[in-house]
Amino acid sequence: MKSIKDQLKSIATELDKGNLVVASVSKKGTYWHLDHSLRVIEGVLETLITSKPEDFSPRINFWKKIILLTGYIPRGKGKAPKQVVPLPEISKDDLLKRLESIQVLLSKSENTHKKAHFNHPLFKDLNKKQTLRFLRIHTHHHLKIIADINKRAN
């Protein structure tokens, strides 16, 4: 699986292809998947950066273990929280601005404590290492959907 930085380069490449929709693969177009992925990265990194390490509360969670271990998210099983659901109209310029914002957040996140954390709705507290792995897995999941859309669109 690619690093987050490499995944962001892939996202930038996908932007140039335009917004493709193939309903047999996904009801959402490629820009929806890109925007959703970027919103997740942005929000999670902001949370990680502002978290207080002393508030980290690790818990054993079956789904967290399975997904972080396998690196696989099944399609069609999750529901995105409303704060990471894209708006109906998504422009390439908006996505490029979000990409720029994420570059700054990535730099800031490198200096966070190892117990900096993100509270996932299903997995609960993820430490810095787990959070960054989750972001790679989640982004990979959406990039695979986009790749399938691209295959069917051509």
Predicted structure pTM score: 0.95
Residue 101 phi/psi, 5-degree rounding, is -60, -40
Cα 106 to Cα 32, 128, 141: the distances in Å are 22, 12, 20
Q: What would the 3-class secondary structure string for 75-104 be?
A: CCCCCCCHHHCCCCCCCHHHHHHHHHHHHH
Asked whether 6 and 139 are in contact (CB, 8 A), the reply is no
Domain of 18 in residue numbering reads as 4-153
CATH number at residue 114: 1.20.120
Domain count, the chain: 1
Across residues 68-80, what is the average pLDDT?
91
Give the pLDDT confidence of 125-152 residue by residue, as tens digits. 999 999 999 999 999 999 999 999 999 9
The DSSP call for residue 124 is: E
Give CA–CA dist 113/101, Å, rounded: 21
DSSP bridge pairs for 117: 127
- Quote the tokens at residue 17: 């292809």
Give the pLDDT confidence of 23-32 residue by residue, as tens digits. 999 999 999 9
- Quote the tokens at residue 79: 């529901």
Q: How many residues does the chain have?
A: 154
Percentage of the residues of the chain whose pLDDT score is greater than 90:
93
